[in-house]
Structure formats: structure tokens, C-alpha cells
Amino acid sequence: MSNNRKVKTQALLDAGRLESVPFDAEFFSEQIRSCSLFRIDAIFLLENDSVHGAFSVAYTYMRKTATLLLTLREVRPTARGGHRVISEVLTFESQIARQLVIDYEKLREKRNRVEYPDALIDDVDISLINRCIEIGDQLCALARKISS
């Protein structure tokens, strides 16, 4: 782990936004399988015209694949860190394009507006669902590469 990533990760641990967990290869494999199911479910919902449902599940797929990378770094988000800390940790990964992290964060914000609307539910379209799946696929591939 690069020194800069170590320092930033330690700061999130110290702030209680992440917690240390030992790496468990069996758990990691189970999470890979779980991610695959979320991907399949998102596509199924999309094909059956449940756009908001597909977005919610595609977002979950994307988030779960991102947490695979945290698992490899032996950390996980706490309630205090929530979904936001995941995108922060992604910025520490040199193998992840900056635009992917920016898109991840925008999709997280969109998900919050959809799940916790102040008034009307935000519009969700197929491009947002597809971007969640694309990001999830890229993060899953990177996690598999790092773990091998």
C-alpha cells in the first residue's frame, strides 16, 4: 500500500468512518457471487420496465463491487462513514480513473435523492442504470485482478 493511501486510510479509521477487518478469502468469494446476483437482478428489472427498481439494484451492485476493494484493503465502512466514505477510498486507488470516482459520487447523490426524496422522485433513466453497471463491472474486474 502506498504511503499516501496508508495515511489517508488511517485518517478515516481514526475518524471512525472506516473500521479494520481481516481479509477473509471465503467471504470475498461470497461477495463476488452476491455482486453477480445484483447485476443480474438489475438487468432483469430494467428489461421488465422497473426503471427505479433497476436503478436501486444497479446502484447496490456498484456499491458492493466498490466495497470489494475495501475488503482487499482490510477495511469496511462504518455507519458514520456510510456510502460516502466508499467513494473517498476509491480516490486512493491509483488504478481507478478519476472520472469513474466522479461518476460514482454523482450516482451516490442521485441514489440519495431517489431513495430519500424531499418532494418528487428524481428522474432516473436507462443511462444512469447502465453507468452503475459499467462502474460495477470495472470495480469488480479490478478487485478480482488485485486478489489474484
**Average pLDDT in the 59-65 region?**
97
Identify which of 50, 67, 80 has the alpha carbon closest to the alpha carbon of residue 139: 67
pLDDT tens figures, 66-116: 999 999 999 999 999 888 999 999 999 889 999 999 999 999 998 888 777
**18, part of any domain:** no
Number of domain units in the chain: 1
CATH code at position 130? 1.20.120.330
**14, part of any domain:** no
Where do the H-state alpha helices sit in 1-148? 3-14, 25-47, 51-72, 82-90, 98-115, 126-147
- Whether pLDDT at 46 is above 90: yes
Question: Alpha-carbon Rg of the chain, whole angstroms?
Answer: 15
Distance CA 52, CA 65 (A): 20
Look at residue 3 in the predicted model and tell me its pLDDT: 82
* Model-wide pTM > 0.85: yes
Identify which of 92, 87, 73 has the alpha carbon closest to the alpha carbon of residue 5: 92
**80, part of any domain:** yes
**7, part of any domain:** no
**127, part of any domain:** yes
Identify which of 57, 61, 70 has the alpha carbon closest to the alpha carbon of residue 33: 61
pLDDT tens figures, 111-139: 888 777 665 556 888 999 999 999 999 99
**113, part of any domain:** yes
**141, part of any domain:** yes
40 is in which domain, residue-wise? 23-147
**36, part of any domain:** yes
